[in-house]
Structure 1
Amino acid sequence: MSRPSSAMPFQDTPADTAAYANYKVIRRNGGVVAFEPNKIAVAMTKAFLAVEGGTGAASARVRDVVARLTEQVVQALLRRQPGGGTVHIEDIQDQVELALMRGGEHEVARAYVLYREARARERAEAAKLQPSEAPVLRMVLPNGQQVPLDQARLRTVVEEACANLGDAVSVSTILDATLRNLYDGVPEEEVFKSAILSARTLIERDPAYAYATARLLLDHIRREVLGEAVTHAEMTARYPEYFADYIKAGIEYELIDPKLGQFDLDVLGAALKPERDLNFQYLGLQILYDRYFIHKDERRIELPQAFWMRVAMGLAVNEIDREARAIEFYEVLSSFDFVSSTPTLFNAGTLRPQLSSCFLTTVSDDLDGIYDAIKENALLSKFSGGLGNDWTPVRALGAYIKGTNGKSQGVVPFLKVVNDTAVAVNQGGKRKGAVCAYLETWHLDIEEFLELRKNTGDDRRRTHDMNTANWIPDLFMERVMQNGEWTLFTPNEVPELHDLYGPAFREAYERYERMADEGLIKRFKRVSAVGLWRKMLTMLFETGHPWITFKDPCNLRSPQQHAGVVHSSNLCTEITLNTSDKETAVCNLGSINLVAHVDEDGINLDKLARTCRVAMRMLDNVIDINYYAINKARNSNLKHRPVGLGIMGFQDALLKLRIPYASDEAVEFADYSQEAVSYYAILGSSELARERGAYASYQGSLWSQGILPQDSIELLARARGDYLEIDRSSRLDWSQVREHIKAYGMRNSNCLAIAPTATISNIVGVSQSIEPTYQNLYVKSNLSGEFTVLNDYLVEDLKARGLWDEVMVHDLKYFDGSVMPIDRIPADLKPLYATAFEVDPKWLIEAAARRQKWIDQAQSLNLYFAQPSGKKLDETYQLAWLRGLKTTYYLRSLGATAAEKSTVNASTLNAVQAAPAEPAPKVCSILDPDCEACQ
């Protein structure tokens, strides 16, 4: 949308008019008119002029303010229905009130509220004198026929959506809002779409509306898939017969692997559980509908339980008793106990089963190797893979090239090509192409590498769309601690450093430094270690990149030290696997829903053991079923068979157990829960080895030496000396696991990694990964649109104390989902519902450190800073290193999109008063020695 002209309150351009062509406004009399933003601006301008007058500077100010606020109103309305639709005039006026309040125009807002109330009274009086009949509504069927609106059918659909959700949801409220947004001649499809949108706006009132909205969407999906209206009650009979037809149609359309047609479809259809369709919340089901369900010519052919079974069948296709295994896999998926990663959900059971999540590559120092790596990126990204590239071997800017007797242009120009490739190859429109480039801290191009994401400078040497990460050796961190010097080299002159870590790296690095002093190395640069560290943190704060990851703990604790070197992590910093110019590492991911394994007694170990065992089998099956776009990935994956079992719903588990995130109890729970997951995952892999054999490169691994992840801490401690502070306690008896591995080995070289779970956690309706609560009420944006997310644990607590009402909703919106400034919230609840930016990042580090001792790979660990300072960043990232963390992920600071503060009831608009504005904190240069905030 173009910005409004300052000459008019809001001037529609032809482009704008076209953009609004799919939007209509329903007037109070039921009439339908075009959506014209300029009318909003005119009404708002009149309100301003009535309060402030219209001459001189006041008039100029009004034009600017009205233009800005009108755009806010229009954007808020369009976000609700990105594909077009109708909006009632009252909804528009609600948004105008909200924009005026949020803009600090309280007097104008008050006048506008009073005007609306006066007009409402006038209309009510007029209606008494001359009652009007309710308008007759007709809807247009797909064949063009007009029939009376079937309000009985509409009521039945809404009642079914609200069934068993208690008094929290109101059938009449949804119906009234739906009918208000209908008009004579409305297409049949828009009738039920209106019901979904009407229910969706009520989610902020109560989380139960998220389930009601999902069920209304489910009705729409059933009509699209089955070709007729079918109630949920009828699906018990319909699902089995539909399922066989669906598999046959999918094969005929060349969307589903013909091998799935060889299953006993009657047995599998009978195993489907229609009642689990009701477990979705709106956000999760909408994501599945938009991005995951198989479709033909934009028409979905897949219902939710068929989707889960299709994935299960795809993972069981090579099993001997494949029906039994498919049902076993279906049970853990459809119950939300475990969910495979997005590529597996996309592609399992299809003709191109690219099921792996992550690929790690090493780029060799020649043009063939560089462009082969870029080609590999494109092929892997095409089929839904996230990429991590190790660029350290590529010689630095100015380094000598013997073949041309010239000088190298360094790493940066090639990264620009990588960036543009990621944009061009976007995984068929399902996911944005994504890649992360890693560079070691001793590389002579490191300083320019740090600036790749800056918005200033030569844009030809910037990569605005890709991620970057520092691959930091322990020796550099020691030099930072000691305020020492650091030497930068070009890799073609120090070829050993790339493949060395620990004491061997130290010995070689110091030898190269001596050679530089003696003039035996031509290109090098001496810098202050602290100065380079400051620049790393400054760029991380200013641009979000490069991320901070640590080379030595990734290698010293790797089970596969005998088979190669870990040269980088992946796109999300949780995978730590060996790579070389001959091997592209692959990892297959899935996540345990932790909260589903927690009851009033804590973690249900029996259930967790069962889920982990099934999950490890599913992940191991991926390796053999998987489509590999390049041979280097296939050979590596079949040789080492790494998988990454993670967790999600950690914050939900804490809330269920009444444990604040910022507490010693949460750190202890992080320790115990990860120990339990790791125990059963590792045991599950060893049990698979008993059945299927150990992985090919098992001999010589840490596993084969009896060294488990928690034991490998000692290897890091020997190399680090005093620079390691890790708790090594344990609760479970690991003797059974050790004996099993000794007898049968391991099926998988790596078993554990905690991924971000950004999408799959939304699908099942739990908190992401190991993340703290982002906000207790906010609007989430993704490829499926914008969705209100409400913390249902908080709502239940407030209901129990009689505090959940419309004023509380307004308060949460106003304070961006924070309970801290709300006086009515009891003091004992505030620590429990502290949001991510209200939890000191040290608690995230401490919890992650406890998990890391049990994990053979790493964790996607975001760090949140409400008011970042150089000193705070320095302390936090040094703490991460001292606690033995392998990687960190995003640094997040305040400034994320707040909740759309839509008005619930005009009469309570003024229940939330504006807080006095606080001056913005001064942002200093990170670790500026002359800045008081940094000292």
Structure 2
Amino acid sequence: MTINLKEISKQDVIFSKNIMEKEIYIIKNDKSCLLDMKLLRKFICSACIGLEKEVNINLILSETKKNLYNGISIKELHKSSILATRTLMEKDPVYSQVTARLLMYCIQKEVFGKEIKQIDIPIKYKEYFSKFINKGIDNKLLNPKLAEFNLSLLSNALLPERDLQFNYLGLKILYDRYFLHIEGIRIEMPQFFFMRIAMGLSLNESNREKCAIKFYNLLSSFNFMCSTPTLFNSGTIRSQLSSCYLSTVPDDLYGIFESIKENALLSKYAGGLGNDWTQVRSLGSPIKGTNGRSQGVIPFLKVVNDVAVAVNQGGKRKGAICAYLETWHMDIEEFIELRKNTGDDRRRTHDMNIAIWVPDLFMKRVIKKSTWTLFSPYDVPDLHNKFGKEFEESYILYENQTKLGKIKLFKKISALYLWRKILSMLFETGHPWITFKDACNIRSPQQHVGIIHSSNLCTEITLNTSKNEIGVCNLGSINLTLHMKNGKLDPIKLKKTIRIAMRMLDNVIDINYYAVKKAKYSNLRHRPVGLGIMGFQDCLHIMKIPYSSKEAIKFADQSMEMICYYAYYASTELAEEKGRYSSYDGSLWDQGILPQDSLKLLEKERGSKYLKVNMSESLNWKKLRNRIKKFGMRNSNCVAIAPTATISNIIGVSASIEPTYRNLHIKSNLSGEFTEINRYLVKELKKKGLWDESMIANLKYFDGNLSQISRIPDDLRKIYATAFEISPNWIIEAGSVRQKWIDQSQSLNIYISNKSGKKLDETYKLAWLRGLKTTYYLRSISANYAKKSNFEMGIDSVNLDEISIKGYNKNLQEIKNNKKCLINSEINDVNECESCQ
């Protein structure tokens, strides 16, 4: 029997009647008094304003009353209403908004020190704002320069009604971890929070108030959101606003521990770190100073791992580091096993991420099933700084020297053996992430002044590093869903948003606190930023397009072209106003080579048979080229798609470019556990009269998967297929058309539901063939989940057997015919990294 969620069961009616008749005494102002049930109802009704048709107030009241007892405090009474409404979120996502409003009431009371009537909130906001700024300054939380703003003007620009747009998860995250507090008491309301960030980003503007209001409106409307470090620290006395840091570790003891010290300093102030360890000599290499032999890279990485654990911003979030190593390094086999749960724990790094930096030559050797030679960088120091054909030539020359006995420390192995071992470790531990050295460097606008030796913690940043430079990137993401109009992206609004967002990101560079001089030198010299997106999956839901479709690939292509076009255009406008970045001369921008043009450079270096990408374009790029030629660029790099796990939760949209993980699941983070349900799906099911208790029970049983629920029409199953139901090839294809336009990279998770070495091999080779620069986590599922969700959407637009590469199809067929799977275990769900959000 199904139950209409708008109705209360007879038992609830009887219970409500009984408890309404029962007298409950509460503690208020240290006195016991009778609880007025009418006032309780009025309090709950106030949180449901505008949502009355979608929620059941009686049901909320009934659930709240179940938790009441004699002697309950006012504070606990309010908590009871929040907890009661929170339990209803799985019945309908609209209850998340109600729960957020009940929490907002508690926040208001904490910040203002007393209960405030809703009608008085706008007045109280304006009265309190200047007090908030001064209180923050007096308690050494806020930058004294904020007091120099026209606070009266800014307070009048605050829009308290925007507090009502939060869902519960978003507001709870802000309350727990972002709002400023004094000894645990919050002093910051959401709109103060957004204005404080806007003010912090406007400090160097000539018209600070005008810019602050403009920035505030963009943030508080959820059209754009800065990354977590900026949200944490903007306007504070220690304004470390950058998200990502990339460094190269030198091959000497002083340099190694200097790098570890830099990791600690950067991690202390919210930075996610990517370290290139390829220069460090391998196990067995000679040490002249002691006439001994090196222990290689691994023992140092254990120290780095412990630094990530020790330096965690005082518990605000975990320290996060990723180590990179090229696949020709002698220590590569032990490196890729660092995350294993077995073996010598002194040679394991359970708290640190690892990634491999893969040259094209290695992928070619894998496809051809030829040998691969491992070297110590002590013997081949120049390989670290070479890419493309130049790398291939030097590598082959060193291989010939091994035959002549000129290089004694080396190891020859099968390239396919190493590739399979990498994939096995990837599936077993979720690491190493696979990133492609040559695609990153050949397409880099900044190849004239340096080499990209690694990506960052979340694999979306591709910046030069050296002994003198630590790459730095400042991130923020556009909420695509709010830029949809009549089922399409609104180019006018998108252009406006991007112009403001790029100004905010560029301002970060000058305002930012740099814990390390090498980071400041690099950031001021090149001025890179990383504009990203979130809510991609939401847009597909709005358009009723399945992720696994040609239409979705087309939308990924067109939307990213539009975003990149306006981002690069905005950078030329900033260059016209403030001047171009100092290392501009000689860059690909200066040469008239835009990111999509650089695909031709990659094709030339790699060979056309190893690159199969869509190179079409639709916008007026000639106009942009002329602007760049005339004014140059303000930023060496402009676009990078971060994971956005945290900031997308704050504004209530799907993360980054991710497909739906599950339509109903429990999300865990440092703020607790939250029931997440796909509101678009609920809306569709309501329209068809299918949303009831039975449907909720089915979604729970099948872990949010629709394929086994026969009541749901086929068209909805396709539109709301989850990440593990669609082929990973669709994710690669969407990533490929995006990468065409992006001057940096994208955090691209790969989802695979079946235990198949063949599928992993196909997927990551396809990623390389499609010109991707990087990949991120590999997500797999438990056997129990796979059994319950064994339906998989097909992929008609991609046929791996049609890829015209000699030897590649033959290799795939041999793996298909091999019944023994090279994968023997699976990874669990991993926690989202929060350093790039």
Q: Does 1:471 align with 2:357?
A: yes
- Unaligned residue ranges in structure 1 (runs of 5+): 1-116, 899-913, 919-925
* Aligned AA (1:931): K
Identity among equivalent positions (%) equals 61
Question: Which digits, 9 at most, give the CA deviation of each residue in 1:70-117, with x for residues without a partner?
Answer: xxxxxxxxxxxxxxxxxxxxxxxxxxxxxxxxxxxxxxxxxxxxxxx9
Structure 1 distance, partners of 2:822, 2:432, is: 21
**Corresponding residue to 2:754 among 867, 878, 903:** 867
Q: Does 1:837 align with 2:721?
A: no
Counterpart residue number, 2:639 = 752
Secondary structure in 2 matching 1:829:
helix
Structure 1 distance, partners of 2:88, 2:615, is: 48
Displacement of 1:892:
0.3
Question: Which digits, 9 at most, give the CA deviation of each residue in 1:561-593, with x for residues without a partner?
Answer: 011000000000000000011100000000011
Distance 1:598 1:832, change over 3 A: same
Secondary structure in 1 matching 2:295:
coil
Counterpart residue number, 1:774 = 661
Residues 219 and 231, structure 1, Cα contact 8 Å, conserved in 2: no
Give the TM-score, by structure 2 length.
0.92
Question: Which digits, 9 at most, give the CA deviation of each residue in 1:522-568, with x for residues without a partner?
Answer: 10000000000000000000011010000000000000001100000
Structure 1 distance, partners of 2:40, 2:586, is: 66
* Aligned AA (1:570): N
Structure 2 distance, partners of 1:370, 1:863, is: 33
Residues 215 and 500, structure 2, Cα contact 8 Å, conserved in 1: yes
Structure 1 distance, partners of 2:216, 2:717, is: 39
Equivalent residue runs for 1:196-345 within 5 Å: 196-345=82-231
Displacement of 1:932:
4.7
Q: Does 1:140 align with 2:140?
A: no
* Aligned AA (1:422): A
Displacement of 1:237:
1.6
Q: Does 1:636 align with 2:522?
A: yes
Equivalent residue runs for 1:435-514 within 5 Å: 435-514=321-400
Question: Which digits, 9 at most, give the CA deviation of each residue in 1:767-786, with x for residues without a partner?
Answer: 00000001111110000001
Q: Does 1:427 align with 2:313?
A: yes
Counterpart residue number, 2:778 = 891
Distance 1:132 1:502, change over 3 A: closer
* Aligned AA (1:577): L
Residues 928 and 934, structure 1, Cα contact 8 Å, conserved in 2: no
Q: How many residue pairs get matched? A: 790
Structure 1 distance, partners of 2:168, 2:696, is: 19
Residues 179 and 188, structure 2, Cα contact 8 Å, conserved in 1: yes
Residues 600 and 657, structure 1, Cα contact 8 Å, conserved in 2: no
Distance 1:848 1:803, change over 3 A: same
Equivalent residue runs for 1:799-878 within 5 Å: 799-878=686-765
Counterpart residue number, 1:97 = none
Structure 2 distance, partners of 1:705, 1:605, is: 28
Counterpart residue number, 1:615 = 501
Q: Does 1:685 align with 2:602?
A: no
Structure 2 distance, partners of 1:429, 1:255, is: 18
Question: Which digits, 9 at most, give the CA deviation of each residue in 1:326-361, with x for residues without a partner?
Answer: 000011101111100000000000000000000000
Structure 2 distance, partners of 1:172, 1:242, is: 35
Residues 344 and 354, structure 1, Cα contact 8 Å, conserved in 2: yes
Displacement of 1:875:
0.2
Structure 1 distance, partners of 2:351, 2:635, is: 34
* Aligned AA (2:629): K
Question: Which digits, 9 at most, give the CA deviation of each residue in 1:137-176, with x for residues without a partner?
Answer: 22223x5322222434322221111111132211111111
Displacement of 1:235:
1.4
Displacement of 1:897:
11
Question: Which digits, 9 at most, give the CA deviation of each residue in 1:437-470, with x for residues without a partner?
Answer: 0000000000000100001110000000000001
**Corresponding residue to 1:560 among 424, 431, 446:** 446
Distance 1:429 1:169, change over 3 A: same
Give the TM-score, by structure 1 length.
0.83
Distance 1:292 1:149, change over 3 A: same
Question: Which digits, 9 at most, give the CA deviation of each residue in 1:373-421, with x for residues without a partner?
Answer: 0000000000000000000000000100011000000000000000000
Residues 708 and 789, structure 2, Cα contact 8 Å, conserved in 1: no
Secondary structure in 2 matching 1:819:
coil
Equivalent residue runs for 1:64-75 within 5 Å: none
Equivalent residue runs for 1:522-921 within 5 Å: 522-721=408-607, 722-895=609-782
Distance 1:928 1:676, change over 3 A: closer
Equivalent residue runs for 1:3-152 within 5 Å: 134-141=21-28, 144-152=30-38
Residues 538 and 653, structure 2, Cα contact 8 Å, conserved in 1: yes
Displacement of 1:716:
0.3
Residues 363 and 394, structure 1, Cα contact 8 Å, conserved in 2: yes
Distance 1:704 1:896, change over 3 A: farther
Counterpart residue number, 1:112 = none
* Aligned AA (1:878): K
Q: Does 1:357 align with 2:252?
A: no
Structure 2 distance, partners of 1:838, 1:491, is: 43
Secondary structure in 1 matching 2:323:
strand
Counterpart residue number, 1:931 = 819
Question: Which digits, 9 at most, give the CA deviation of each residue in 1:724-747, with x for residues without a partner?
Answer: 001001111111211111011000
Higher relative contact order (CA 8 A, sep 6+): 2
Secondary structure in 2 matching 1:637:
helix
Question: Which digits, 9 at most, give the CA deviation of each residue in 1:748-769, with x for residues without a partner?
Answer: 0000000000000000000000
Structure 1 distance, partners of 2:539, 2:440, is: 28
More divergent stretch after superposition (519-528 vs 163-172): 163-172
Residues 750 and 776, structure 2, Cα contact 8 Å, conserved in 1: yes
Residues 707 and 789, structure 2, Cα contact 8 Å, conserved in 1: no
Displacement of 1:599:
1.6
Secondary structure in 2 matching 1:408:
strand
Q: Does 1:188 align with 2:86?
A: no
Aligned-residue CA RMSD (Å):
2.2
Residues 702 and 789, structure 2, Cα contact 8 Å, conserved in 1: no
Structure 2 distance, partners of 1:894, 1:520, is: 48
Displacement of 1:827:
1.2
Distance 1:928 1:380, change over 3 A: farther
More divergent stretch after superposition (567-576 vs 239-248): 239-248
Distance 1:199 1:883, change over 3 A: same
Structure 1 distance, partners of 2:162, 2:718, is: 34
Question: Which digits, 9 at most, give the CA deviation of each residue in 1:3-43, with x for residues without a partner?
Answer: xxxxxxxxxxxxxxxxxxxxxxxxxxxxxxxxxxxxxxxxx
Structure 1 distance, partners of 2:558, 2:762, is: 26
Distance 1:409 1:670, change over 3 A: same
Secondary structure in 1 matching 2:119:
coil
Secondary structure in 2 matching 1:218:
helix
* Aligned AA (2:583): S
Structure 1 distance, partners of 2:757, 2:303, is: 33
Secondary structure in 2 matching 1:478:
helix
Distance 1:932 1:459, change over 3 A: closer
Counterpart residue number, 2:796 = none
Secondary structure in 1 matching 2:416:
helix
Residues 20 and 37, structure 2, Cα contact 8 Å, conserved in 1: no
Counterpart residue number, 1:383 = 269
